[in-house]
Structure 1
């Protein structure tokens, strides 16, 4: 959903420049994962772009990948020794005390990407790639609903520093102001406990608890990866990408209406690695 405030509208040249920056991040993830035998999967719009366009969806402005929880944790560990820290940094709740999202990001050093409504946040800034961990979830519908509800509540609490500043409804702002007083460390611990409830049970289903869509995936879809072409490079994707994309998008090879061909990150400030900077004029 678009924010109720202004943001930078990228033209085609600026968007391509951003996509090229994010491609560097994807190449670095792939390098580390192949070196350490870690499996990852292109996901969401990035996976759709690889299958339908052999690269970015022309109007896409972010990059998403997924990893099984154990591979996600191995990747974070591998970054301690293998990440090229002169160009990149890994961001998660443990490495950045001001970072509240429940998934990791790989970011470019000496860059900036500030989303609308998040200008006041103190987290370390940069052009980014999202890394979503996948957790097992029970086949029980009631337990699935419980986990989804609880994780949604934890995300709301962690998002409260944004909501209390940006929401148009004053009562909603008041609610999030109250939620912002709940200790961050406690919320993170509770979220970690709930998301990992079924990981030792090896259930036939997976879920990305960090997202609002609530999609439940079959574990068998994430058993084997294949190499796919993306912007002249080769990256990993699920061999069963057809099932995943059908669940997410339905008839995924069909282009959306022109009015829906737009990104969804809504920046107010961007600084690229070459120093070129864009900032919304107030």
Structure 2
């Protein structure tokens, strides 16, 4: 489903329509995401593809045996080899029920990583509102790439990677401006200044589309097999997510809400690098949540 710019213009002045999902909506969202996870894992097992639960979802698996109670997404990560394999068989195996947005795909991309979106659902946040892509409930799928063994080469590649990542999404912000994001970012002076700077960067790089920049970033971060790997599109960027390959592989099996999934070989080291003491439950005002514009998980077709 899409939320058009015409529809955005018909909505009221935005800020009072941004909201957190209710407990009831979160429960429905979790149920839908679990259906998606089952479908994806079934296909992946058929083709010997082994995506792992990652990010906050990996914390949920360890600390809560599934979703963090207030979490509103599901994160997965995957080796570049398996990522490419999944992209090739996606339309055949999952195309009837899901969209796949990913850098370099004909269907386009609304980010520098892949998103598997459940057809017939609606999930619009303040970043995606008004864009030309489907706004559906989705699972993020992030490729894991090798990094150069040489430290100088690693630093150079990491710097360029981070520039491309920042620039590509800045172009997306610039090309897809909407009142929800603008009103939210202009709510205080600090975020207003950041927003203006981000739009300026987006304007400077807008000689190419965001889709092309996402594809350039995705191609650039790939590398030949070495001792170390990173998730260049992750929350801590290229260098912050760099770990020895043994931390990720070989993968191990785990359970997420009773569903068989894969996890990093050393999940403690992986999570400690990202979050520090990941077993400590954060206070309510520090919990990560996303502001929502519209939500509907009814995917009957």
**TM-score of the superposition, structure 2-length normalised?**
0.80
> 2:147 pairs with 137, 140, 151, which one?
137
Partner of 1:237: 263
User: What SS does the aligned partner of 1:101 have?
Assistant: coil
1:122 aligns to 2:147 (yes or no): no
| Aligned mates of 2:230, 2:44 — CA distance in 1 | 21
| Aligned mates of 2:129, 2:36 — CA distance in 1 | 23
CA RMSD for the aligned pairs? 2.3
Give unpaired runs (5+ residues) of structure 1.
276-282
Displacement of 1:145 in angstroms is: 2.6
1:108 aligns to 2:131 (yes or no): no
| Higher mean displacement: 161-170 or 144-153 | 161-170
User: What SS does the aligned partner of 1:253 have?
Assistant: coil
| Aligned mates of 1:242, 1:60 — CA distance in 2 | 20
> 1:41 pairs with 52, 57, 66, which one?
52
Partner of 1:279: none
| Higher mean displacement: 179-188 or 35-44 | 179-188
Report matched runs for 1:48-63 at 5 Å.
48-63=59-74
Displacement of 1:228 in angstroms is: 1.4
Q: State the number of aligned residues.
A: 267
Displacement of 1:105 in angstroms is: 1.0
Displacement of 1:232 in angstroms is: 2.2
Assess if the C-alpha contact under 8 Å between 2:253 and 2:262 holds in 1.
yes
Partner of 2:200: 174
Give unpaired runs (5+ residues) of structure 2.
1-13, 186-191
| Aligned mates of 2:284, 2:197 — CA distance in 1 | 36
Partner of 2:236: 213
Partner of 1:194: 220
> 2:280 pairs with 251, 254, 257, which one?
254
| Aligned mates of 1:100, 1:151 — CA distance in 2 | 18
Assess if the C-alpha contact under 8 Å between 1:137 and 1:207 holds in 2.
yes
| Aligned mates of 1:16, 1:118 — CA distance in 2 | 22
Which protein is richer in helix relative to its size? 2
Assess if the C-alpha contact under 8 Å between 2:172 and 2:210 holds in 1.
no
> 1:89 pairs with 89, 99, 102, which one?
99
| Higher mean displacement: 63-72 or 182-191 | 182-191
The alpha-carbon distance between structure 1 residues 88 and 138, as it changes in their structure 2 partners (threshold 3 A), is same
| Higher mean displacement: 178-187 or 39-48 | 178-187
Deviating runs (4+, > 6 A) in structure 1?
none
> 2:295 pairs with 270, 275, 282, which one?
270
**TM-score of the superposition, structure 1-length normalised?**
0.86
| Higher mean displacement: 209-218 or 242-251 | 209-218
| Higher mean displacement: 167-176 or 39-48 | 167-176
Displacement of 1:34 in angstroms is: 0.6
Partner of 1:21: 32
1:64 aligns to 2:75 (yes or no): yes
| Aligned mates of 1:189, 1:161 — CA distance in 2 | 13
Partner deviation per Cα, 1:22-60 (whole Å, 9 max, x = no partner): 111111121111110112111011111011100101111
User: What SS does the aligned partner of 2:105 have?
Assistant: coil
Assess if the C-alpha contact under 8 Å between 2:120 and 2:299 holds in 1.
no
| Aligned mates of 1:185, 1:234 — CA distance in 2 | 34
The alpha-carbon distance between structure 1 residues 185 and 87, as it changes in their structure 2 partners (threshold 3 A), is closer
Displacement of 1:106 in angstroms is: 0.8
